[in-house]
Structure 1
């Protein structure tokens, strides 16, 4: 899309620093997204070693990311607890580090790297589907009577964010049955998480793809995977309601049928449109038949998040410039007939930064975002550029609805996607980031 990846060299080897970044991604996926200390340490060390070996120039992204980390340390010192700044410093370092390392890869290496990212994300989708069908407690979350896929990340919304990024990158890879199959698993996995924010982020990402790569190519690439996922999810719905008995036979039949649709649809020629419409109609009927159970996920209402947002805004009003300090954002609010509730995260990373690091911190975060977007703009025209931009924008949008930056897996996949679209010397011998 924009430009389909062309012929590859006979043999493509990924540089050791890039392999270490991929190892950090895989480690974070396995270690509950890297949320807890062992996962954070492992992913951070792997990215750190990759940086030492790659020795990239920091560029604008590195400078602003470093300023954000320094401000977190200063703010922690002012609160008398510099250790509280460590998570913010690590997050800034991991994200910027991954971008800088990946930006050194040449085109053929980036194609392989993109394929690996899509493959790992597809495995997240498959394990989420398995978790729902087999009702694996540690890999699912129960919410409003529904069993939501969380995969090994154990947080449905983070799993969905990883899969959305992987799906958008898959749409610009060279077409093949494996890529189409991965896209199908990703669409199915996103649906199994029942993440409303992920759907919004995916819609925005697809819009970016349509603008940058053309809507015809985008629809042609996305339709088989989406329609195949409609079949798989329609068969999975009975297993998602906690009150109902799981239907593994139906779910497996739906997954197989969906895969057949995804792989076979492009070969139907003039019959594609009527069959696609028929499948879409079937999906609408399936959702309508489970409307009662899905009502909470189809609604935009979220009382807890609304309460936490109000508490966060009150906190900002008290300390707008400096914030309350890194790690000190806790949000208390009242729920009718339920007393006082407390939430550690406001489910909006931009507002979370404003609460903890104040306006200074938010300006620095927006500076990091601007540096990434500038780097992507300078890298336009490369084969993976459209998918890279779409994935980054989708993650930026999703971050306004969930706490994603607290999980290294999201930071790593965001860095991978951004790096795929940054300018490169193509031969990988000189740093690709020149912003």
Structure 2
């Protein structure tokens, strides 16, 4: 107890950051915090982290007026719609998600660059565990860590049990790992984490996850330098491609898994990912060209490739298009106030002629518009704008580029992926967003600070 009191009174961030990493871990293990027990645990641990930070600085929330005000407006409108049209449990979930996000953000803003880097490393370590377990779930057909989709394809899911949710976490973790590797590639585990998180992301077979990672990679390159980022990203991508090729025969449900082949591909991919960056640039380009040609020639003979391409190498998604059409009908019927929190139901006819009913649109922005209408969407955009301004203030206050760029890239990936899946229903996602905004934002009391020369740090 004496040690705890000492750490807290010295404003040591270790305890609050341990609580945040524990909250993220609990969310990942408890199916993303989708169900009430997991959501409750994530919320409680985030509250513990906030309480520890608040004990160190009673004015912890000073400077967060815009974020608190817009978050309160969102909750107030959701509560009003919930009272009028029903859906109070959904309102409670919305309030808990926003509270978790703000609590995580506030706890992180108390700390400086070293502590934030430690926290980022913790999230990367958690993402690496998700990647390895998801990959193993496909390679050995472990139902705890993989999921059979539509009785045709096994996809990595880890303990989140939903492949696209695992992909969202992995895309963010891969971008954070890449930012850390760009900062100091000589720390041995960072390039390993870049490679493994990309392997795990590939094993989910999530198209939205791949698109989100690509968008985040563009953001990271713009902030940290294109050449620098690509020099670390390309070898890992090539290595992950090798590992994915060896995993392809294990994806189809009508084929037996090939774990030894998958392990061999994982090792070979690691050699590509970890050795190539140490070679001269012209050798790196030559090796990449050779691997590309070998992949084109060799993949034609990989068992299961045709089935994989037929299922995943397409922009079509009957479920999403059907749900979107039904959601737009609901928006047309209740454009201003929405149908009420969680009251919308989506109906469409699938390709077999069967009626399908769903609670989810697979697009959080459209889902929000259905539930809370244009008023709710405007309030949400105001809250997002407040978060963006906080992140911009962090850049002006001189948050180190590796931290700022990595966090912003991961936020961009999660934001884009939210247009293709119901990610906000998982408690771990708002928690991660809060942590990332906190990492990219200014430290407590620095919201209006600028570097001594009055210019932004490059």
TM-score (norm: length of structure 2):
0.87
Report what 2:399 is aligned to. 382
Query: Larger relative contact order (C-alpha < 8 A, sep ≥ 6)?
Result: 1
The alpha-carbon distance between structure 1 residues 101 and 309, as it changes in their structure 2 partners (threshold 3 A), is same
1:34 aligns with 2:41: no
Equivalent in 170, 174, 178 of residue 167 of structure 1: 174
Instruction: For residue 177 of structure 1, report the CA deviation from its aligned partner.
Output: 2.1
Post-superposition CA distance 1:80-112 (Å, at most 9, x none): 553331111111111222122212220000111
Measure the CA separation in 1 of the matches of 2:92 and 2:381: 20
Equivalent in 217, 222, 231 of residue 211 of structure 1: 222
TM-score (norm: length of structure 1):
0.92
Measure the CA separation in 2 of the matches of 1:422 and 1:240: 41
Report what 1:261 is aligned to. 272
Measure the CA separation in 2 of the matches of 1:205 and 1:24: 24
Choose 178-187 or 283-292, whichever is displaced more.
283-292
Report what 1:125 is aligned to. 131
Choose 52-61 or 302-311, whichever is displaced more.
52-61
Measure the CA separation in 2 of the matches of 1:104 and 1:13: 9
Measure the CA separation in 2 of the matches of 1:274 and 1:169: 28
Post-superposition CA distance 1:408-430 (Å, at most 9, x none): 12222222222111112xxxxx4
The alpha-carbon distance between structure 1 residues 356 and 54, as it changes in their structure 2 partners (threshold 3 A), is same
Measure the CA separation in 2 of the matches of 1:288 and 1:167: 28
Instruction: For residue 282 of structure 1, report the CA deviation from its aligned partner.
Output: 3.3
Instruction: For residue 264 of structure 1, report the CA deviation from its aligned partner.
Output: 1.1
Instruction: For residue 286 of structure 1, report the CA deviation from its aligned partner.
Output: 5.1
Query: Matched residue pairs, number?
Result: 419
Measure the CA separation in 1 of the matches of 2:428 and 2:349: 33
Unaligned runs of 5+ in 1: 1-11, 425-429
Measure the CA separation in 1 of the matches of 2:72 and 2:420: 25
Measure the CA separation in 1 of the matches of 2:236 and 2:125: 14
User: What's the secondary structure of 1:329's corresponding residue?
Assistant: coil
Alignment of 1:107-146 (within 5 A): 107-143=113-149, 145-146=152-153
Alignment of 1:149-160 (within 5 A): 149-160=156-167
Equivalent in 437, 450, 458 of residue 418 of structure 1: 437
Alignment of 1:4-403 (within 5 A): 14-55=13-54, 56-57=60-61, 58-143=64-149, 145-173=152-180, 174-175=184-185, 176-269=187-280, 270-285=282-297, 287-289=299-301, 290-380=305-395, 381-383=398-400, 384-403=403-422
Instruction: For residue 202 of structure 1, report the CA deviation from its aligned partner.
Output: 1.0
User: What's the secondary structure of 1:190's corresponding residue?
Assistant: helix
Measure the CA separation in 1 of the matches of 2:40 and 2:441: 27
Choose 115-124 or 363-372, whichever is displaced more.
363-372
